[in-house]
Chain A
Amino acid sequence: MSNLAILLGIAIIATASYVLGRYKVAGTSQTLHSLPRYYGLFALICAVVPPIVLFLAWLGIAPFFTSGPISAQITPAMIPEGGSASLVMADIQRLANGVMQATRAGLIDFSALGDTTNLDVLGETLAAAGLIFGTKIDPAVFALTQDYIVRYEIGHDVMTLLLLGATILGALWGLYQIRPSFWARNAVERVLRLVLMLAAGLAILTTVGIVFSMLFETVNFLRLHAWQDFFFGLNWAPNFHGDSELAILPLLWGTLYISAVALAVAVPIGIFAAIYLSEYATKSLRSIAKPLLEVLAGIPTIVYGLFALVVFGPFLKDWFGDGGFLGVNWMSDARSVATAGIVMGIMLIPFVSSLSDDIINAVPQSLRDGSYGLGATQSETIKRVVLPAALPGIVGAILLAASRAIGETMIVVLGAGAIARFTANPLEALTTITTRIVSQLTGDGDFNSPETLVAFALGLSLFVITLGLNIIALMIVRKYREQYE
């Protein structure tokens, strides 16, 4: 039975239980506790939940039955040079999928393959179907594959029976529960709450999972590399001789410097724009400008990165570079702190202005009236009443922008350069934590070397920094909200 057919079967049973659930209470003369549709929904939930739970459980248990015993049979002879048992297992699964797919498509007959199959012919058949295996298929591996397929198909059949059985039993149990006095509405409500809770829980769990996996790799890294060098070293110089210097400080300097330039651009312009929008602009202008700004905030950062690389960097170099308009030769490369920082600042303007605009708008009109009523002008009112009242919220917005700047990747990858050092000259290239994470993880490095694992340590550090900033920002914003409630 194909997976689609199983799904269809479950859907049919579920629909039937919905209809039957309604039907069971529809005929009675007794007063119903809930609307009929709730009885139907309850029966439907009873039918659908057991197979879902069963399936999730199966995903966890199946490997013990299928891939587990197979990988135990992989002998060292089957492992090609430079490979590992887990890679062979992955190959087996891939091959098995290919064979099953080809069987389903009618290209080959798996049950007729036997032991004597000509593996070259099989390889060609699979390749013709678009399933290409790089290496020649090893007969021993193929034997395991056959074993795997048998186990897989038995598992699949058992699972099909269990799923459909669970659906039917669930539906029957649900229908049995239903009687006019049954609190179907409340039962449905409880299930709904559970679903929402699971969604929220999943979001949190994945975050925790990500943090833990980073933590795990970071510990691995610190086992291979001196922590003193990582935290307090002054050089970033990865190499392949095993004596890399992997210090976070020069990268942190680049990150903070470029972020500072970005904020120096984004904060004043963003706040002025917000003041204009919220205090001076007419309603019609505001209704156009605000969504426009928000669209700007949605442009992918790679576009800004390209702008930095292709337009803004060369523009700066035309002014400050060798033979430029100013004739100063301060800039040797189009990529620099200023290039990335200013473009990042432009990216952050809508972010700052949109948040600040919301915050300024939240300042109660009564405060403005109070100020006007005392004979203050509009700009005096803004300067002395509106902005001070909105300040904590604006600070929160700036901190949020800062954490975005620190975590920003594409603009600095394209615009900032790749040189890790301590320089205060904004026209020189620098590099950041994010760009180094990208470069350490792309390329052919051995995955267990400190040069690769350092990316996780860098990532975790970045996470801690931005998390700290976000927490502070949210605390400030929340405190400010309370003031006016």
Chain B
Amino acid sequence: MKDQITHGLENSVTSTPSKISATQVNVHYGDAHAIKDVNVEIAPNTVTAFIGPSGCGKSTFLRCLNRMNDTIDICRVTGNILLDGEDIYDRKVDPVQLRAKVGMVFQKPNPFPKSIYDNIAYGPRIHGLFKTKADLDTIVENALRRAAIWDEVKDRLDAPGTGLSGGQQQRICIARAIATAPDVLLMDEPCSALDPIATAQVEELIDELRENYSVVIVTHSMQQAARVSQKTAFFHLGNLVEYDDTTKIFTNPRDPRTESYITGRIG
């Protein structure tokens, strides 16, 4: 099976150098082995989807990419993960700095109980990304525009972010991640708490974000993966079963497990 993956990689390596390159990644929660020997190359300006049945380790692997797993005491990560050719688990890398470069959007919209403006300005303020108040205003406006929510909130930037609808909150969270000027955006089931209309808005946004960022999105919805991503990785029981172009995965999967999953036979 491993040869198949390598084989898949060889196909993709030909085009552009990878944004993120993970080799032989293993994750343990205490004694539980959650991720097993995973190898993935994530291309720049691409939406990469992680799919698989729940509990298969999609979130865990995603959280390896910005070292969010460091905040969990019992979690142990081994292997190599390179961002632009640099090992992010190197001792010289500050995980806090890394997370500014690799932004994250969570399953449940989690705006801070502050004004919309302060939510977006949170990252820039922490990282000192601006000199004048006008700079900050520009950063906030740009982030909100990129997240396709500027028109809806421009008149009430002082209102609390928690007072918006779920879909708006999630786009605020995306804007908040964008405002710290990341290279990569990680999204963990960003639409699972949203209604269909809000989901459509966020999906459209994800497609636009591809222009400027590498996006990695975890989703339990195969339709969503098919709609928004160019690359898809299928996880099963902690293994990366198959990783290839999205069209390939959905039309002509190599592995029987992938086929069972996308045809709905593995839950």
Contacts and interface: CB of A to CB of B under 8 A. Distances in A.
B150 interface: no
Contact of A369 (B68, B111, B126): B68
B108 A373 contact: no
Contacts of A369: 68, 71, 104, 106, 110
Given A369-B106, A380-B126, A388-B114, A374 B68 contact: no
A155 interface: no
Interface in A345-375: 364, 366-375
A282 B97 CA distance: 25
A376 interface: yes
Interface stretch (B49-57, B173-181, B233-241): B173-181
11 contacts: A282-B73, A370-B110, A370-B173, A371-B112, A372-B99, A373-B105, A373-B106, A375-B96, A375-B123, A376-B122, A376-B123
A364 B113 CA distance: 11
B126 A367 contact: no
Contacts of A373: 66, 68, 99, 103-106, 177
B43 interface: no
B122 to A, nearest CB: 6
A371 B177 CA distance: 10
Given A373-B99, A374-B100, A366 B110 contact: yes
A384 interface: yes
Nearest to A368: B71
A372 B68 CA distance: 8
B226 interface: no
A380 B114 CA distance: 15
Contacts of A374: 99-100, 103-104, 122-123, 126, 176-177, 180
Interface of A: 282, 364, 366-377, 380, 384-385, 388-389, 483
B173 to A, nearest CB: 7
B106 A375 contact: no
B131 interface: no
Q: Please name the 8 residue pairs, one residue from A and one from B, whose CB atoms are nearest each other, closest first.
A: A375-B100, A373-B104, A375-B99, A366-B110, A370-B110, A374-B123, A389-B113, A376-B126
Task: Give the most central of A373, A376, A388, A389: most B CB within 10 Å.
Answer: A373
A369 B66 CA distance: 12
Nearest to A364: B110
Given A373-B177, A374-B177, A483 B122 contact: no
A328 B97 CA distance: 53
A372 B102 CA distance: 11
Contacts of B91: none
Interface string B106-122: 10101111100000001
Contacts of B126: 374-376, 380, 384
Nearest to A372: B71
A366 B99 CA distance: 16
Contacts of A388: 112-114
A369 B103 CA distance: 11
Nearest to B66: A373
Contact of B122 (A282, A366, A377, A384): A384
Given A375-B180, A376-B126, A389 B68 contact: no
A384 B125 CA distance: 11
